Amino acid sequence: MTMSERLVAAGLPPLPRNAWLEIDLDALRNNVSVFRDLIGPNPELMAVVKADAYGHGLVPVARALGNSGVGRLCVASIDEAVCLRDAGIEARILVLYAIPPEARNVAAQRGIEVTAGPITAEHGAEVEVDTGLTRAGIKPDALKDVVSRISPAGLWTHIASPEDANSTAEQIRRFDAAVESTTARAGTVKRHLAATGTLLTRRGAAYEGVRIGLGLYGLMPNDLPIPSDIQPFAERLRPVMALRCMPLRVEGFPAGTAVGYGGTWVAQRESVIATLPVGYGDGFVRAYSPGAGALVRGRRVPLVGTVAMDAVMADVTDVPGVDLADEFVLLGQQGGDSITAKELARVRNTIPWEVVTSMSFRLPRVYHAGSVLMGLRTLAGDFTVTGEA
């Protein structure tokens, strides 16, 4: 059965197009369990769901995390938090960046926890300590004054380079010193510093809480030095997202045929070209060709020509019999091979975070737990089978 047929059989609408993201909610919950095993029972596990849950879908991911042991959801902006509340999400929510002064009443009314900023520093807010990322937060030498005025609910910082042992150690030293200098005024506050990179390198103390972002979605930073005793945990992580499609056309062409805009690729032999309905309008950027590939019938084929807004071509000459009923994988696993976010990041000279978060909202997201379809998100809205997606 095609994915559209499976969706209809499950009581959901068919796909509006032959390209979709599959979001594995079992894998998501598995990854939470992995980090819980890694950090032990006590630190609060906070799930970072900003940027549409790293492209996976803000509301469906938040719902799926509801009974998984996550203490709080972390977002980047007040509107992300309000979106969760409007969807009926009752979990604690922390906004990691300072909110505009005009949004303070909204945060208070909706029970949304906020991070102190230069203008919005108020009682009960959390305080980010700028220990070296130099992006946001309160500098250590100003922390004592801020804490004396607002009695923060938490103190936290963010590590700039978890792969660098020396710089990470220095940030931790600055954080500990800053917290120690304010203890008498701050009273008992929660501290959180560790995220995916620091936990998997064993370079960040857990304190009272940890914030899991990339690892929650089964992904890891490029070239992260993972110690041997942590490696078994990393190997248990499962990617949550896959990008699949079915071709719009499969056609043969003679040698010498130019393919795509600008004729940047020319067939050196008689070739069979499959047009796939995914392009840079979906977040599958132009930098993926040349260099990236696709999986079809369990075999890897190259992408050729220029990635267009709505399509990219694959050379399937060496895979006999490919037709319109075949499913292609551009991110994920098929047969014994897989295309990972880390691999795609290297092709376009970026990081796995950008690969998944750049997936366009217009790509349908199919939510499943194992083989069971749970829900569908399209531009027309969200549709669920059980209400758990």
For the annotated catalytic residues, the residue numbers are 50, 261
Tokens of 255: 């040698």
Q: Is 118 helix (H, G, I), strand (E, B) or coil?
A: coil
Closest to 270 in 3D by CA, of 247, 294, 253: 253
Length of the chain measured in residues? 389
Q: Side chain identity at 46, as an amino acid letter?
A: M
- Give 160-228 as a DSSP string: S-TT-HHHHHHHHHHHHHHHHHHHHHH-S-EEE---HHHHHHT-S--TTEEEESGGGGT---TT----T
Half-sphere exposure of 14 toward its Cβ, with a 13 Å CA cutoff?
Answer: 7
Environment class of 119 (CB within 10 Å of its CB; exposed 0-12, middle 13-18, buried 19+) = exposed
Query: What whole-number distance in Å separates Cα of residue 64 and Cα of residue 389?
Result: 6
Encoding tokens for residue 37? 């095993």
Long-range interactions of 254-262: CB distance < 8 A, separation 24+: 259/304, 259/305, 259/313, 260/304, 260/305, 260/306, 260/308, 260/313, 261/305, 261/306, 261/308, 262/306
User: Comparing C-alpha atoms, which of 91, 95, 94 is closest to residue 69?
Assistant: 91
